[in-house]
Amino acid sequence: MGSLLWLISLSSLALKSALGGDVCVSGHDSGPVFEEQPTSLVYPEGLSQGKVTLSCQARASPAATYRWRVNGTEVQVGMESRYALVAGNLVINSPQPARDAGSYQCLAVNRCGAIVSRAANIKFGCEPPRLPPDARSPQTAYEGVGTFLACQPPTHYPALSYRWFLNEFPSFIQPEDGRWFVSQVTGNLYLAKAEPNDTGSYFCFTTINMEISTKSTFKSMHLTTRRYQDHDKETVLSLFSHGIEEHIWPSVQNAMSSPLSLGFTLGLGITGYLLASGLGALVLVSGWAGLVYYCCHKLYTEFVRDKLQTDMQDIVASYMSQPDDGFWVAETAGEGKVVGMVAVVAKKNGAERYGELFRMNISPSMRRVGLGSRLTQTVLDFCKQRGMTKVVLETSSSQTAGIALYQKMGFKH
Phi and psi torsions of 197, nearest 5°: -75, 5
Name the percent of the chain lying above pLDDT 70: 78
As a whole number of angstroms, the distance between CA 149 and CA 190 comes to: 7
- For residue 285, the surrounding DSSP H or E stretch is helix 259-309
- What is the C-alpha separation between 343 and 329, in angstroms, rounded? 9
- Residue 352 pairs in a beta bridge with 349
- The whole-number pLDDT of residue 6 equals 37
Q: Is 388 helix (H, G, I), strand (E, B) or coil?
A: coil
Which amino acid type is present at position 118?
Answer: R
Under the banding of pLDDT at 50, 70 and 90, the label for residue 107 is very high
Between strands 73-74 and 65-70, the pairing is antiparallel
The confidence score (pLDDT) of residue 334 equals 63
**Using one digit for the tens of pLDDT, what is the confidence trace for 361-405?**
888 777 666 778 888 888 888 888 989 888 887 766 556 666 676
In the structure, what pLDDT confidence band is assigned to residue 56 with cuts at 50, 70 and 90? very high
Sequence-distant (6+) residues with CB within 8 A of 163 are 172, 173, 182, 205, 206, 207
In CATH terms, 129-218 corresponds, of 3.40.718.10, 3.40.1280.10, 3.40.720.10, 2.60.40.10, to 2.60.40.10
Q: Which superfamily, per CATH, for 34-125? A: Immunoglobulins (2.60.40.10)
- What are the tens digits of pLDDT across the range 159-215? 678 888 888 776 788 876 678 888 887 888 888 888 888 888 888 887 765 443 333
Closest CA to 374 of 360, 388, 387: 360
Neighbours of 164 (CB within 10 A): 19
Sheet holding 189-191, edge to edge: 147-149, 189-191, 180-182
- What dihedral angle (degrees, nearest 10) is formed by the CA atoms of 96, 100, 106, 109? -90
What are the residues whose beta carbons fall under 8 Å from the beta carbon of 333, sequence distance 6 or more?
Answer: 221, 222, 223, 224
Rounded Cα–Cα distance for residues 118 and 314 (Å)? 46
The pLDDT score that the predictor gives to residue 220 is 39
CA distance 287 to 54: 43
Q: 129-218: same fold as 34-125?
A: yes
Domain boundaries, the chain: 34-125, 129-218, 219-413
Q: Note the pLDDT of residue 313.
A: 87
Rounded to the nearest 10 degrees, the angle between the axes of helix 371-385 and helix 400-408 is 50
**Domain 219-413 sits in CATH 3.40.50.300:** no
Cβ 62 vs Cβ 253: under 8 Å: yes
Instruction: Find out whether 42 and 124 touch, Cβ atoms under 8 Å.
Output: yes
Cα–chain center distance at 292: 29
**402: DSSP letter:** H
CA dist 406 to 338, 340, 372, 383, Å? Answer: 22, 16, 9, 16
Q: Can you tell me whether residue 361 is helix, strand or coil? A: strand
Residue, of 228 and 192, whose pLDDT is higher: 228
354 neighbors 389 (Cβ within 8 angstroms): yes
| Model confidence band, residue 218 (pLDDT cutoffs 50, 70, 90) | very low
The closest of 109, 85, 87 to 22, measured between CA atoms, is 109
By DSSP bridging, strand 102-110 and strand 113-116 are antiparallel
